[in-house]
Amino acid sequence: MKIAFIANPLSTFKIYKDTTYAMIVEAARRGHEIYAFEHKDMAFEGGAVVANITHITLTGDPDDWYRADAPVSQLLSEFDAVVERTDPPFDMEYIYATYLLELAEVQGAHVFNKPEAIRSHNEKFAIAQFSQFIPPTLVTGDAARIRAFHREHQDIILKPLDGMGGAGIFRVKQDELNIGSIIETLTHNGTRTIMVQRFIPEITSGDKRILLIGGKMVPFCLARIPQGGEVRGNLAVGGLGVAQPVSARDCEIGEMLAPILLKRGLLLVGLDAIGDYLTELNVTSPTCFQEIEQQTGFKVAEMFVDALEQAV
C-alpha cells in the first residue's frame, strides 16, 4: 500500500516515544510505501485536493532515521490510506484541513480518522455523549453556573475545551482560592465555553490512556501518574507513565464505545479515564503506543497497521 501520514514535521519527532513513528516503522516493515506531509502542504487546485507530498525511506539510524525525497504535488486520492496524525491545537486551520480531507474523500481518498468524525468529536466535550460513564460535569461559560457547581461539589477541575497536554487545567478546592480569576481567565470574561468536573481523587493512581483500535481494545493502558505535587498526569507536564492491564471498568467503557466510534469513522481513539470515570476522548493524534509496548511487550503498532490494512 501507499500510505501518506499527515503529521507534524518529521524532524521534530522524539522517536523513542513517538506513536506516529511507531506506525511508520511497522508499516514500512511490512513493505508499504511511506509518504508524509503537513496540513499546510494541502490545497484545492484544479478541482481536486492535492498536497506537496514527500516519499520517505527509513535508514535504521536513530540519529538520522529517514531520508526524504523532494516533495511532489499529488492527488490525495492516489494513496491507499491517508493517516491524520497532526497534533492539536484544534484551531480553525485544523478545521479547514478537515474540510479539504473530507472533499478528498469524496474524490476517492481513504482518510483515517475520518475528518468529519474528528471535527464532530471535541476531545473534551465528546464524552457528554456517554454520560453514564463520566463524573459530574458542567459545560458553560456562565460564571454563576460554575460557582454553583463548585458549591455543590466543593473540589473541582476547570479546563478549556481546546486544550492539550494538560495546558490550562486548574483545580479549585473548598477554599475557593482564586476561583473568580480562574473563571475570568478560562472563559475570557464569559465569552468562551469551558468544562468543569468534580475532582476525582483517584488521579493519584494515574490518568489512564485506553486505546481503541479498529473497534477493539488494547488490553493494556498507560496510567499517567502526577509527580511532584501536580494535579495533572499528562506526560507533557512530567507525569510518570506506567503500563498496566485494563480494569473491569475500563473494559466496560471501552467495549461499549469501541464499535460505536469505529462505525463513526474513528479507527483509532484514545480514551482518558480516572478511576471509574471517562474524562476525555482523543481522536486527533492519540499516543502511548511505544510506552505500552516497551513495558508490556504488546505490539500496539502491529494492531494498528492490521486495522488499517483491513479498513482499506
- Alpha-carbon 220 to chain mean position: 17
Cell 469524496, located at residue: 106
113: cis peptide before it, omega within 30°? yes
Q: Is 84 within 8 Å of 242 (Cβ atoms)?
A: no
Cα 244 from Cα 223, distance rounded (Å): 7
Asked whether residue 72 is domain-assigned, the answer is yes
Residue ending a domain, choose from 173, 199, 225: 199
| Residue 124 placed within a domain | no
Is there a domain that residue 219 lies in? yes
Domain containing residue 146: CATH number: 3.30.1490.20
Say if residue 206 is in the same domain as residue 179.
no
Q: What pLDDT, on the 0 to 100 scale, is given for residue 106?
A: 98
Clarify whether residues 81 and 155 are in a common domain.
no
Number of domains in the chain: 3
Residues 100, 148, single domain; the answer is: no
Whether residues 195 and 209 share a domain: the answer is no
Q: Are residue 111 and residue 7 in the same domain, yes or no? A: yes
Same domain, 222 and 270: yes
| Parent domain of 95 | 2-115
pLDDT in the model for residue 307: 98
Does any domain span residue 310?
Answer: no
pLDDT at 177: 87
Residue 32 domain-assigned (yes or no): yes
Please check whether residue 244 lies inside any domain of the structure: yes
176/160 Cα distance (integer angstroms): 19
What are the distances in angstroms from CA 19 to CA 2, 12, 299, 302? 19, 13, 12, 12
* Digitized pLDDT (tens) for each residue of the chain, 312 residues in all: 999 999 999 999 999 999 999 999 999 999 999 999 999 999 999 999 999 999 999 999 999 999 999 999 999 999 999 999 999 999 999 999 999 999 999 999 999 999 999 999 999 999 999 999 999 999 999 999 999 999 999 999 999 998 877 788 999 999 988 999 999 999 999 999 999 999 999 999 999 999 999 999 999 999 999 987 788 778 877 889 999 999 999 999 999 999 999 999 999 999 999 999 999 999 999 999 999 999 999 999 999 999 999 999
The CATH number assigned to the domain holding 49 equals 3.40.50.20
Predicted TM-score (pTM) of the model is 0.95
311 assigned to some structural domain: no
pLDDT for 166: 78
Task: Please identify every residue annotated as catalytic.
Answer: 124, 159, 209, 224, 232, 272, 280, 282
CA distances from 292 to 19, 22, 238, 272, 300 (A): 11, 12, 17, 15, 8
Asked if residue 82 and residue 30 are part of one domain, the reply reads yes
Beta bridge partners of 48: 45
Contact 188, 222 (CB under 8 A): no
Looking at residue 260, which CATH number applies to its domain? 3.30.470.20
Distance of CA 185 to the CA centre of its chain: 25
pLDDT at 233: 78
Residue whose C-alpha cell reads 504488546 in the numeric block: 298
Burial environment of residue 52 by CB neighbours within 10 A (0 to 12, 13 to 18, 19 or more): middle
